[in-house]
Amino acid sequence: MLRSLKAATAAATLSLTLACDAAPEVFHSDKARFRLETVASGLEHPWSLAFLPDGSQLVTERAGRLRRIRGGQLDPDPIAGVPEAAVAGQGGLLDVVLHPDFANNQLLFLSYAHENHQGKTTRVSRARFAGDRLESVEVIFDALPRSRTNRHFGGRMAFDEDGYLYLAVGDRGDRPRAQDTRDDAGGVHRLTIDGDPAPGNPFLELTDVQPTFFTYGNRNIQGMTRHPITGEIWTHEHGPRGGDEINLISAGTNYGWPTITYGIGYSGLPITDKTAMPGMAQPLHYWDPSIAPSGMAFYTGTDVPEWQGDLFVGALKLQKLVRLKIREGQVVEEEDLITGFGKRIRDVRMGPDGVLWLLTDERDGEVLRLVPQ
């Protein structure tokens, strides 16, 4: 009898322990309690996320595949017809964004690293989404000149309120290119959906600046989002060792890289002794040391009213989510979230369901929802 009672007690304890272990971890912040809900896993270094009108999602894998998630299930087969990406170093299939009128025209845009005999570059293609495949795929932009490096492709994209496409191109690991306005590297380009310079671009009348440039002097932008109220385009970019920046993108602005920076070289040696110069913009906010920022999104949900309008930025190196409260152009509050999560955050998106979505940059990458409790 005693042995049976002990066995029953042990079994009950084990069952309770397993149940507790299986329970999702609840994270605490200054403003909210929330858990991370796994929507899908088994993705190879997912890079970008887009929400389709029917409630499903598209996810890019840096390895060159475009995947679809329906009803919380990852389709076993990738979307067919995706253009071939050069998968090496930081290159591969990068961003996916939907045309603002996607519900009617089914157009989407992909950025990716592309290679030919002249080298690699950041390329953008437009395509028509046909459910399980892409059709009418057309290259609309190649950043030139090409080079042999596998770094700093940039690749983040966003549409403005006028329907023009913003594309970030990194300096390709060659610092001086970001200040060379005849070179497509190291800046933000503003394009029509055909890849032409957008009307109203700041350098259209100049012969020594690429007409698609909207800004230059950018090192490697990998976060870009449109402000939900003002419609302005916000970005962040990787610094070297320190000097990660958040910037409000303004027409014709030189953001200074590498002439000014708050970071130092990976060798530990200075890149420059200047953090400011006339004619070069200061960042809205910067990190030192580097957090290696990734995707970013403004919170527009209603579950956590205290987060309304806050900017959320993922971090690769420091494996966390950062919340920034911004008032009148100043960061007035900064909070680190999910610091014990232990995975690289690649993308952050505000979902149509009113919650934040995250991608983890892992060989077995995940799509996650941040669900308030």
Nearest to 343, CA basis, from 371, 369, 323, 314: 314
Tokens standing for 227?
A: 């402000």
The per-residue DSSP string of 211-245 comes to TTEEEE--S-EEEEEE-TTT--EEEEE--SBS-EE
Q: Are 130 and 137 in contact (CB under 8 A)?
A: no
Report d(CA 198, CA 208) in Å as an integer: 17
What residue has token string 């998630």? Answer: 69
55 Cβ neighbours under 8 A, 6+ residues apart: 352
Q: Are 222 and 167 in contact (CB under 8 A)?
A: no
Asked, as a colleague might, if the bond just before 289 is cis with ω within 30 of 0, I would say: yes
Per-residue burial over 129-156, b if 16 or more Cβ lie within 10 Å, else e, is: beeeebeeeeebbebeebbebbbbbbbb
Report d(CA 179, CA 187) in Å as an integer: 9
Look at phi and psi of residue 186 and say left if phi exceeds 0, alpha if psi is from -120 to 50, else beta: left
The letter for the amino acid at 164 is Y
Which of 45, 152, 238, 285 is flagged as catalytic? 152
- H/E element holding 281? none
- H/E element holding 8? helix 2-22
Whether residue 189 lies in the annotated active site: no
Active site residues: 152
